[in-house]
Amino acid sequence: MKRRKLEPSIHTNLDRESDYTAYLQLDKLLDAQIPLSSPAHHDEMLFIVQHQVAELWIKLAIHEIEAAMDDLRADDLPMAVKKLARVKHIQNQMYNQWTVLDTLTPSEYAQFRHVFGRASGFQSPQYRLLEFLMGNKSRSILKVYEQQPEWHERLEDALQMPALFDEFLAYLSRQGRAVPAAVLKRDFSQARNDHPDVVAVLREIYENPRDDWASYEMCEALMDMANNFQFWRFHHMKTVERIIGHKTGSGGSSGVSFLKKALEIELFAELIQVRTEIGS
């Protein structure tokens, strides 16, 4: 077997404050997987790591979306599109990791499901913030976070502020597009009904893409995100169905039936509607 010699220039005399482990806080990160089953069930580690990794990807997605919204407010559309292109790939990672959890069988899961009590991914404040940023807002959900003041405040702020699509529409208005004032100046904590004038603005962009290629790319970036979010939701639902069937969810929901309802929620609905009108 061939062996690779350690090159003399490689740093080996590192203190614990400046090496790879310290930079990534690996001691803290790798100590965060604490099974509650006793004796520890082998498959509980998979369940913990799966969800912790998902939370890290969600953290990065939030980081990129919030930065893209800053870019939109600064009228820097190309930079916003660049960041949302990264979000699409983050979502791909989140989607693909379901296949690892799919290896967990019902009998394996049943042996440790009881240990996390009423804890559920439904309660994830990061997931809720991600939904708020993408426009799926609900004031009633905030009660889940009343015992987490910092998250409650952050979610309240996101509830009141424009979401990603709102910022895009505001950008289009500043560029001279005929976005209705009722869409731009409203209570952003409330769900907005689809507006035919917004569809008309999007149709103009799609039918004349070379006149405003950056906005055209932005529309497609948003559609990528919306579709990937639905793909993720669908695989989540099928993974839950595969592992627990139609049992009640750990957080008290109806389980699979509850998750199916989320598939009916359309993000950026006017971007779907415009597809019906193009070419007709």
The annotation places the binding site at 47-51, 109, 113, 236
Residue numbers belonging to the annotated binding site for heme: 236
Burial of 128 (0-12, 13-18, 19+ CB in 10 A): buried
Query: CA triplet 220, 225, 226: central angle to 5 degrees?
Result: 95
Separation between Cα atoms, residue 93 and residue 57, nearest integer Å: 8
Picking from 218, 178, 208, the residue whose alpha carbon sits closest to that of residue 77 is: 218
Burial of 146 (0-12, 13-18, 19+ CB in 10 A): exposed
Separation between Cα atoms, residue 97 and residue 12, nearest integer Å: 34
Separation between Cα atoms, residue 254 and residue 243, nearest integer Å: 15
Residue numbers belonging to the annotated binding site for substrate: 47-51, 109, 113
